[in-house]
Amino acid sequence: MTGPAACPSTAEMLERLVSFDTTSRNSNLPLIGFVRDWLDANGVPYRVSTDATGQKANVHAIIGPQESGGIALSGHVDTVPVDGQAWSGDPFMLRRANGRLTGRGACDMKGFVAACLAAVPDLRARTLTRPVHLFITYDEEVGCYGAQRLIVDMAESGLRPALCIVGEPTGMQPVLAHKGKLNLRVAVRGLPGHSSNPARGVNAVQCAGEALAWIAAEARRLTREGPFEDGFNPPHTTVHVGTVRGGTILNIIPEHAEFVMEWRNIPGDEPRAHMARLQAFVAEHIEPAMHAVHPGTGFDFDVQIELPGLSLSPDHDLTALVKQLTGSNATGKVSYGTEGGYYEHAAIPAIVCGPGHIAQAHQPDEWIAQSELDACDAFIRRLADRLTA
């Protein structure tokens, strides 16, 4: 094995990571190539897994004993777009001023990945009794596809950590639970005709509107009736419609309409049951009148993303460990999703804890505080102390 490479600071490592435009629509292979070179220079073994196109890749590196067990530090390197945002400088050139480091992905979540990579020489120099796994994944922002592929790869290799820390921005406070999410595309098939005789057609926009009215009422019902779980804000499952499209010009009965919606469910509340309620309403109250005009009309439901929720017990050993490493007596719950839900469903208990704050994520002039990176560096070194002989 080669000797350890020169040790850049976390900020210097972050500068390199930000310089790669890894917006989810792009390939992440240039960044992954940089990571592989860094791991090779430090003599760290790793596995690479890719998507079907070969243009997106994960890295699963193991420092210490090359075996299952130990703990994983997990981060994604894709980012949301900068299109249409008012940045004050180049989003892919890290800028440092007044204790802030500004650049796309600095907070979500290249800051955490940079801290993990910067720690590699120190971790490798130690006599670790249990492995430290590094998960670096693709396409979290558009469906956690990299994490799902990584789980398949771990099943093939047998190299699974016992526990996982997902470094999404939490201000270095342990987060035990997050909501799940189901994204649904609803397409409406109508029957076109001249608007002067609406009874001879099926207005897809108006049929969609009936469903949208039911969804609005359902949102109010969930707010009123729950179920509820303390710690979430809001403390119940939510439903939301994000986009609506349909129609061409005013005097044509719309043949097509479409809307995209989501449920963000508290753990234990099954989003498929909510979807079934919508489908039952459509089948009973909307489609019969559509079919009476033409049997080829109706609704189509296409699940686009189904993200499992996360729920780690406050009494779990991982909870106690992360509280000790952060010095925090408090834990939290969040309404956004992470890859942690997939790891938990793959029987790898997971917790969310990382530098930065979600309020800075996805924003123009996205930034992370140097103090947050310093806290993350100290967290990783304290974790290494626990795993060192």
Q: Catalytic residues, which ones?
A: 78, 140
How far, in Å, CA of 155 to CA of 152, rounded? 5
Alpha-helix runs per DSSP H in the chain: 10-18, 29-41, 111-118, 120-125, 145-157, 204-225, 271-285, 287-293, 317-326, 340-345, 370-386
CB 359 within 8 A of CB 366: no
- The 10 Å Cβ neighbour count of residue 201 is 20
User: DSSP state, 23?
Assistant: B
DSSP 303-326: EEEEEPPEE--TTSHHHHHHHHHH
Residues 6 or more apart in contact with residue 120 via CB below 8 angstroms: 4, 38, 39, 42, 44, 63, 134
Exposure of 370 by Cβ count < 10 A (0-12 exposed, 13-18 middle, 19+ buried)? middle
Q: If we measure between CA atoms, which residue out of 106, 132, 136 comes closest to residue 355?
A: 106
Q: Is 175 helix (H, G, I), strand (E, B) or coil?
A: strand
Per-residue tokens: 22: 């890894």
CB 279 within 8 A of CB 214: no
Q: If we measure between CA atoms, which residue out of 60, 80, 51, 123 comes closest to residue 348?
A: 60
- Three-state SS string over 84-148 comes to CCCCCCCCCCCEEECCEEECCCHHHHHHHHHHHHHCHHHHHHCCECCCEEEEEECCCCCCCHHHH
Q: What is the CA radius of gyration of the chain?
A: 24
How far, in Å, CA of 6 to CA of 163, rounded? 29
CB 254 within 8 A of CB 189: no
